[in-house]
Structure 1
Amino acid sequence: MEQAMFAGGCFWCMVTPFEELPGIHGIVSGYAGGQTVNPTYEEVKTGETGHYEVVQITFDPSLFPYERLLELFWPQIDPTDDGGQFQDRGSQYRTAVFYYNEEQRLAAEASKVDVAASGRFEGPIVTEILPAPVFYRAEEYHQNYHKKNPKHYKEDREQSGRDTFIEKHW
């Protein structure tokens, strides 16, 4: 098993693209990249901890290669927005690919080049490729939020502009 970590704005929206696929063994919402140890949602949402909202994915690379995770990640975000994602604004909603080893770093860098060369976007690709920092699991009510609160999740996703953007650019 290996791990992958992605920041794509609100972590609630980053779970569903990866779930229930062969070779994906777990998706955990959490926080990473900031200076606060064991941050809470209340702390992270201020934008002052330096953390990103992230998903950490445990996967079997023999069944689901890391490159396929990257192929699923990019179409979930606006890679040209450095101020957050869609209606979610602030540093905690920045986008990033966090790599755990050199193979992941090289694959992530290559995928970023491919996105930039795709012609889909007018602006530069600002999504960062960074070494995986310490991961902190988010509170239990954030885990599988879309299943626990389907009505609110659907409303939030519709209002965010994420799906409209995805449909237009991907």
Structure 2
Amino acid sequence: MESHSSVYEARYGWYRRSVVAALISLLPLALGLALQLPAWCVVLFSVAFGGLGVITTVVVASSRRVAVRMDDRGVTLGRVPLPTGSRELSVPWEDIELVRVWQPRIGSSTFPKAQYISLERRAGSPPLTGHPDLFRPSNVAEELPPASKKLSWCELDPARLQAAVTAFAPEVRLVLEG
């Protein structure tokens, strides 16, 4: 039986990372206006270089869909609400050995790096039927276990994450890196 106080959900929403992404996507519009380009040129420039980013961020962050859920059945990595082929992935606790929250190493960059959650599965676990992130950057593709999710438009609460793992699967380790 599920203890509702221990259930952990992280939803897509307007967090620091998603607000920054939306603002960066608006830079072409600001640049076009600052350069006093003709209106048609500002619109074309903005749509071509920033429009997709703004639309993507608004759709995903406003959806408030579940990105990560931990309950008595296991861990669910939700799908991104975009037509990317992304699918929800549920992994039962008995198949999970380790839950790891981490950031890839990308040189010496000080730019905030994307955060990932990975579920390292026990040997002999049945094959996965879905995968939440179809498109993975080539610089981290080798590091990603199959049950992984990039956390671009959501934020995790480490204390509540630890409480959920402890409540539902005390034998599963939680590793928080970066």
Higher helix share: 1
Answer yes or no: same fold by TM over 0.5: no
Higher relative contact order (CA 8 A, sep 6+): 1
**What TM-score do you get using the length of structure 2 for normalisation?**
0.24
Q: Which has the larger radius of gyration?
A: 2
TM-score (norm 1): 0.24
